[in-house]
Structure formats: C-alpha cells, structure tokens
Amino acid sequence: MQFSYSAKSQKANLDANLYPPLVTFTAQEDQANMMGQLGIQQLRPGPSGNESAPNHANYDESLANPCPQLPQVLLTNSGKKVTSPELWWKERRPEIVEDMEREVYGRLPKIIPKVNWEVKITDREFVGRIPVIAKQLIGHVDNSQYPSIYVDIDMMLVIPTNVKGPVPVLMMFGRPSFPSPSQPNKEDMEKLNSAFKEMMIKDNQEMKEIFDRYPAYMPITRLPGPNFFAPPPSGDSPPTEQLLAAGWGYATIDPSSIQADNGAGLTRGIIGLVNKGQPRTPEDWGALRAWAWGAARGLDYMETDTLVDAKKVGIEGVSRYGKAALVTLAFEQRFAVGLIGSSGKGGVTLNRRVFGEAVENLTGSGGYHWMAGNYLKYGASESVFGSKTGCDLPVDSHELIALCAPRLTFISYGIPEKGDAKWLDQKGSYMATVAAGSVFTLLGVHDLGVSNNYLTEELPPVLSGLLDGELAWRQHDGGHTDAPNFQYFIPWASTFLKYEKESLQFR
C-alpha cells in the first residue's frame, strides 16, 4: 500500500505509542554517545590537510611507516600458513571478515527488512547515437517494524538496445537521473503548449496580452534530439557513454537514499530503521557498509531483469564512494568486478600508514559515521583501555582488497598536481594492493605482476598501468576522478569477463 506524505505522518503519529521514540542526535552528540559506550574520554585530533597549519599532515616518507609489518594475510590467527584455496575459504577469509566487521566497518544486522523494487518509469532514449532503455527504480524497504522511518532506495538503470543482450552492467554510486528523456512529438507538443497557455491565462489575465503580442511563441520547447552524426565516444567522452558504446549498461544508485552521509543520520536511514530509531552499538554497521548493503539490493533487482547479465555486474565509486565500492566488492561476492577510485583512508590506503589523511581524521567528526563504532578506539588518546593507534588494528586494507579475490579489482588514482591530493596517499594504496596480490595468485588468478614485497616495490610511473591480471592498478594524470581510466577499465574488464559486444540493427 502506498501512502501520501500526510497519510504517512498520520500513521506515524498513530503508531508512536507502539514503538520506542526516535532519537534525534547531532553528529557530536552521537559521537559522544559512542565514546561513552566505549569508555573513551579523549580522541586525538586528526592532522590538517593545510601544509602550512601547525598540525599539518605528515608527507615525509621516512616517517610514514611507524609499524611497517602488516598483518600477514596468508597466516591464520593460530599461526598456520595458508597454502591452499580451501584453507583460505574455510578458515583464513572468515577470520579476516570477522575482524573487519567487528573493528572497522561493522556487522550487518541478523534481520534486515526486505526490499520491494518498483519500476517507476521506463523510457526509451538516445545517448548520443546510442538507443537505450532507461528505468527509474525505487526500492521500498519494509518499515512495518518501525513505521516512523521510511527508506526508499533510488536507482537508475540504463541499457543499450543496439547490442545483443543480456549485457554486463557497472553500478555506480551517485545521483540517478535520466540520461536523455524522450521528447513529445510535434502534435503532442502543440497540445501541451495550448493547455499551458490556457492555464497561465486562467491564473493571470495579463498573460493573455503577452501571448497575443507573440502569437507564435511556444513557452514549452523540445530539447535537442539524438545526434546521429556525432563522433563515436572516445576516451574523452563521459564514462557512461563509453560504457554504452562498449555494449555495457550502467546503473546509478543514490547512497543518501540508503543512509545519510553524516553522524546525525545514524538513527535514520536503513541503520536507524533496523535499530528502531535508537543509537548504534559499537559493532553496528556504519554508512559504508550500509551503502554496500543497498548496492547488493540493487543487484537483487538486476538478477530479475532479463536485459542484465547479473553474473557480470560491477561496482564503482570515487572518494568516499570509492571506499564504499571496495567494501561492497569485498563483502558481496556476487559482484564480479570493481573500479575503486581515489578511495584513501578507509578504502585502499593502509590504516597504519601516517601520510596525509590519518585514522584520526576518520575517528573524528568528519568520517566516524562511515565506520563501526569500535573504529573510534584507534583514535583514542585517553580511555579505559589506554591509547590506541592504527598500528593496533588487527587487520588492514590489504586484507580488504584480498577479500575481493579472485574477482576483478581495478584500483584507480590520479595525481596531486591535478587535484587528487597527496592526502589520499597513493603510495600507501599501492603498498596495500601489492600486499594483497598473494591471495589472488593463491586462488588461481593473476596479481599485479610484481613481487609481493610492499616495502620495496616502487610506485609505478603515472600512465603505466599494471593491467595484465585480475588485480589491476593504474594512476592517470588527472584529478580526483576515475574518468580518465574508463578507457582502460572497460576493455580490461570485458576481456576477463569474456564479454564481446555483438551489435544489432534493431532491438
């Protein structure tokens, strides 16, 4: 049953006495609540990104590795060497997942409400010269256990219709929109203009004099139609056009429709809905894990859509959404490929590195809501358990990348000179990628093609991608985006997924 907003409010009021009252915190209050649960009196402040500030971040490589020895990804907690895929899947991988969930990203609740997908609008459009079907999708989350909170996941799916399907799809975190809404024909446009003029005149008689002075004027006009003479998409074209030209579809899913990107929203969204409007406990999931859960629900829908090859669906994101894309690929094994863009700390970059962004920047008010409450412990200077740093974490980002193996994992960065700041620690991200490689090779696929010695391997030159294996790295010469790497990502992924575009004249 669908409710209007007023009806929803009335229903919420009627149910108010049946459910715990929704807690309203500021981000500061929510963080203080979590610190109280953990027994933390003081957090260390994070360094500043301003290099002239007194507390500026460290950019001295000689000081960047206070604890250079990473947790051994192929050594179990009991000290057993992992020498077979079976031991990885049955023993070591679950150990890493347990530590990642408990200490870093949080656990999924045992019971999460179901999502019912609605195809709200289906539109046939053209993107450049490419015909597509665009579907606006709404994932209604069952809120019967706590009617005061509504969660409707917003997603757009765009599929090319000039190729033989089903097709691979790259899901991207972002703001969904129709790429090129279809336009009314001439006759329908005349009807719309006639009705619009009548409505305006009825509302304001002065409009009649204006329209009489300009009798041929049409206030509603058509947008430009498809340009069949446009040049084919190139590496400089928008990534979505490059995907469509290669025979891929794409989906855009809105993270904010799943979970707000702030600490004040933790008693709302899917986290708040499951917790019935109450604050988190230390092991509860943070926003990154919630966004990943939402992406997995989007994949649920794609498994029902005959236009999509659900075995060839990827996940992509940049910056905080790059973190979310990596978390999605690591924990949701149905995703076949990931493009992880400029993710920094909490994503690909090693937590225990002290270069640019630090653990303390995430445990501070700016990013703590992305993580589990327990992650705050590693920014604590005064607490019942003393002081902890990133060096005390039982896991690190190389193990998060390892959880993606043997699936396709493409790590993307830009350069500081163009805006992909040193703050993101490209070197620390490369070290983590190198250290994860041994798991890819153990599982029978190819890593970067370098040694697994993350302490000695040098960062490859810009524009010299390592793209020969299922684990890939490329640093482009642009800014805080992964767009320049799409022209390399698409053929790389298509090759390993064994997808070859087969064009159709009509569909």
Q: pLDDT value at position 1?
A: 40
pLDDT in tens, 93-133: 999 999 999 999 999 999 999 999 999 999 999 998 899 99
At 374, the pLDDT band (50, 70, 90 cuts) reads: very high
Helix (H, G, I), strand (E, B) or coil at 132: strand
**255-283 mean pLDDT:** 98
Share of the chain above pLDDT 70, in %: 94
Mean pLDDT, residues 253-273: 98
Contact predicate 228/221, CB 8 Å: no
pLDDT of 313 higher than 90: yes
Identify which has the larger pLDDT, 218 or 498: 498
pLDDT band of 222, cuts 50, 70, 90: low
> What gap in Å lies between CA 172 and CA 318, rounded to an integer?
9
- Per-chain mean pLDDT for the chain: 93
Tens-digit pLDDT profile for residues 67-103: 999 999 999 999 999 999 999 999 999 999 999 999 9
When comparing pLDDT for 204 and 362, which is higher?
362
Q: How do residues 10-42 score in pLDDT, each as one tens digit?
A: 555 555 568 999 999 999 999 999 999 999 999
Q: In the numeric block, which tokens belong to residue 208?
A: 């009649």
Q: How far from the centroid of its chain's Cα atoms is residue 457's Cα?
A: 29
What does DSSP say about strands 471-475 and 115-127: parallel, antiparallel, or unpaired? unpaired
pLDDT-derived band at 507, boundaries 50, 70, 90? very low
- Range 305-317 burial, b when 16+ CB lie within 10 A, else e: bebbbbebbbbbb
Q: What is the pLDDT of residues 144-155, one digit of tens each?
A: 999 999 999 999
Q: What is the DSSP string of 426-495?
A: HHHHHHHHHHHHHHHHHTTS---SS-S-TTTPPPPPTT--B-SSSEEEEE-SSSS-SGGGHHHHHHHHHH
Token pair listed for 174: 């972002």
Secondary structure in 3-state letters for 25-58: CCHHHHHHHHHHHHCEEEECCCCECCCCCCCECC
Quickly count: other Cβ atoms within 10 Å of residue 164's Cβ: 12
Residue with tokens 């990943």: 292
Antiparallel, parallel or unpaired: β 308-318 and 337-341:
parallel
For the cut 70, the answer to whether the pLDDT of residue 8 exceeds it is: no
Element containing residue 120 per DSSP (H, E): strand 115-127
Q: Which two tokens stand for residue 176?
A: 């969904």
Q: Rounded to 5 degrees, what are φ and ψ at 27?
A: -60, -40
Compute the distance between CA of residue 443 and CA of residue 83 in angstroms, rounded to an integer: 10
Binning pLDDT at 50, 70 and 90, where does residue 2 land? very low
The answer on pLDDT for 231 being more than 80 is no
pLDDT at 248: 98
141 near 134, Cβ under 8 Å? no
Instruction: Find the largest Cα–Cα distance for the chain.
Output: 87
* Both structure tokens of 310: 């659900």
Between CA 349 and CA 167 the distance in angstroms is 32
SS3 138: strand
Candidates 294, 337, 302; CA nearest to 316 is 337
Beta strands, E only, 211-325: 249-253, 308-318
Instruction: State the CB neighbour count (10 A cutoff) for residue 213.
Output: 8
Residue 183 has pLDDT above 80, yes or no: no
pLDDT of residue 424: 98
Residues in CB range of 377: below 8 A, 6 or more apart: 38, 40, 103, 383, 385, 388, 392
